[in-house]
Structure 1
């Protein structure tokens, strides 16, 4: 009963705040005449409904960003591998086991962190392709191009014999630099490399579908999507998940502001503690304020909200394998079998899932009623990571593709058609293109990127993976979670133009209650939040007045 009371209180508070945000007058609760109050509220509501939204983009800059530079079109610099400086365990070889090589030999880069570096001089700041002749012992190994010691671009090696491999669109200033080829998952052999100008990024690839998948999407959801669509390829929107679901008052937000003077534009929240299994059955705290934080961030701060759901399996199936109940979203911590529930073999399990969906819809309903748009990211990381096939660490992916898709579509049907949660913008994050439910269920495709510490490369391989998920290739692409943060200059130059990033909380942001550079250096934190290509909270236009039909608005306001 206590849990139900808690749930009802949270809902009442959310509804109260929602009403207050949209309809408070000067007299607030001072009047005792209930009829007068009701009359005033009705008149206020009637006036509000008649007020048209004056659409505007203000002075927001929507000009395209190209990657054209003043590098001579015929520039070319060729370097033999063995002429470089060996770093760590790298060494020169002259045995032809990987095929014929040029010059007097080639360089073996055997382990992670081993490297060969070259002193180069380039004619101008520009985007350069680095074409290497190399071989590898590990097909599919990922390795790095470094510039002045910093990781710049990743490249994949496939062939055990010498063949051309291209690291594309490396952004380098003009003048003298130290260029390196560094092993990551490694065991590569570098014969030679050639540096040439890279072609400009094709900006047409950032044109995406103009409508949300929900045909009944709310006006504010349409406005937010219209804004994100307009920004895609021009800006990346900054985002941060709050620790302990404390919203904008979390240590992460405070420390980012203290360091950079800026605030992330996107607030990340987790609804995990709003579930029946957690809130009611296990009396978990820290979740019931989430709807209020979301309303406050959108209505009072003009910010964007994204939500994920660390969904605990139904209580009956928890506390197995000597695992505590609070780990109940992990596959190894529950006996729940989604496949059996969705097939009808476990009817009790299916009913419990439906009850959880009904409960979550009710928890989210105040946000829909208040038309607070949410980047809704359900059933995240369902297929795990392609690097580790067959390892689905969350129960909603452990039964495979079929059960996952059935659950995803069940949620969509209930939330959209039954509960009219028309404020949700649907973010698909299963991380396996074979698990894509279809364009009619998805607005944004995302990947959760956790590269090595201080790896500021653009994570292009994941971006390109996502570009192939939608059959039409027409979806916005986002870095829906991340650890180490990418260099925006390099990413935009490469064409890896993530719509937004959402840095995870805790150790990826904070250490000892202070901003940490364990994963992202302080210099990179500063660069990202000062970048002209990264939108922070203060740089967002008024999201409630952004044009739903931007093309028509621009045509009429030339």
Structure 2
């Protein structure tokens, strides 16, 4: 029995440990030792600690991690980034918020980088190797164009909004193996798979969260509830990466948006988009505008069936009361430049960030022992 399983079983006392091995095991039965150890570590701190995280953009990967350190004197544990896309057209500034790879980091002068897709993604891999060596936990996502456009598109190809979502017959072609659209989807996926394979060869596990916020109404992959909707795309993606390409360093993070009822900007119930526990290692939610309703935490925890839950992206950090009342978030990750917009009441942004970073429940890099290439708490 692995040490963490023994700890959990002992804590459960009589007959209480039957579900623990099922939950701790990655959904990929061939998951790498490094992925397994990372998942075990996350379970070992669940309910006691939340890991601090920060998103960084592919065109300037150290930038916002440095901002956090300047504010707090500490580094986040979870280090996030995006495989991204190249924004085309005369409206590129409209999509600057997500960090297209051909543009400088958001809210600067919005210049083009002059670097190729391959150069940028390789530099991201090289940065990840450096961060992992420090003891960081890596999470990656992908703002991807519609498959017919691969990596280069007008941002409207990604942010379609409800009135321009793919009709069901297009969705059916996309998710049916062997169709022309399905082949283009595979070709698109093949543009990031080599970089994930490099990380696997370097023995770096990745919290992989593709197609985030699928229960919203803004991305082309959004607003497709039910078995023939998003769940089918997720399972297809899992199969292609895991069973076809044998990427065994990935832990699969199914990342929703916190449900909301804003006309034209809705996010539906978690369960309507869920592909099943056998395809998901971690269930996450994105929270913006400090919308830390207790139901966002509790309903996701109920759906998780004992698996981990996390805050995949946040705009503003929670206030101390919400932080205390929602103890099962395994990590939070502030979205890039939002780290500079954390004002709360009478607190300026830096003070509000320190309030959470200094909370005894928050794990920062200085509290992690990564000696021997395994994650554990410092004694």
Of residues 162, 171, 174, the one that matches 1:342 is: 174
Of residues 528, 543, 551, the one that matches 2:356 is: 528
Q: Does 1:253 align with 2:69?
A: no
Q: Contact 1:459/1:486 (CA < 8 Å) preserved in 2?
A: no
Q: Contact 2:160/2:220 (CA < 8 Å) preserved in 1?
A: yes
CA 1:475–1:274: 2 relative to 1, 3 Å: farther
Q: How many angstroms does 1:415 deviate by?
A: 0.9
Cα distance per residue 1:257-283 (max 9 Å; x no partner) = 1121001111110012399xx989x95
CA 1:56–1:273: 2 relative to 1, 3 Å: farther
Of residues 464, 482, 489, the one that matches 2:314 is: 482
Q: Does 1:494 align with 2:332?
A: no
Q: How many angstroms does 1:243 deviate by?
A: 3.5
CA 1:264–1:286: 2 relative to 1, 3 Å: same
Q: How many angstroms does 1:467 deviate by?
A: 1.4
Give the unaligned 5+ runs of structure 1: 1-54, 58-63, 65-203, 385-391, 511-515, 551-558
Give the unaligned 5+ runs of structure 2: 5-10, 12-16, 88-99, 103-114, 258-269
Aligned length: 319
Counterparts in 2 of 1:51-90, with a 5 A limit? none
Q: Distance in 2 between matches of 1:279 and 1:243?
A: 8
Q: Does 1:449 align with 2:287?
A: yes
Q: Contact 1:313/1:336 (CA < 8 Å) preserved in 2?
A: no
Q: Distance in 1 between matches of 2:135 and 2:184?
A: 37
Cα distance per residue 1:465-492 (max 9 Å; x no partner) = 201223xx111010110011013x5345
Q: How many angstroms does 1:328 deviate by?
A: 2.5
Q: Contact 1:331/1:398 (CA < 8 Å) preserved in 2?
A: no
CA 1:530–1:326: 2 relative to 1, 3 Å: same
Q: How many angstroms does 1:447 deviate by?
A: 0.3
Task: Considering Cα pairs closer than 8 Å and 6+ residues apart, tell me whether 1 or 2 has the greater RCO.
Answer: 2
CA 1:267–1:344: 2 relative to 1, 3 Å: closer
CA 1:318–1:331: 2 relative to 1, 3 Å: farther
Q: Distance in 2 between matches of 1:501 and 1:451?
A: 14
Aligned to 2:32: 218
Q: Contact 1:336/1:349 (CA < 8 Å) preserved in 2?
A: no
- The TM-score normalised by the length of structure 2 is 0.74
Give SS of 1:509's match.
Answer: helix
Aligned to 1:517: 342
Of residues 282, 293, 300, the one that matches 2:127 is: 293
Q: How many angstroms does 1:287 deviate by?
A: 3.7
CA RMSD, Structure 1 to Structure 2 (Å):
3.5
Q: Distance in 1 between matches of 2:76 and 2:321?
A: 20
Which of 1 and 2 has greater Rg?
A: 1
Q: Contact 1:430/1:436 (CA < 8 Å) preserved in 2?
A: no
Q: How many angstroms does 1:345 deviate by?
A: 11
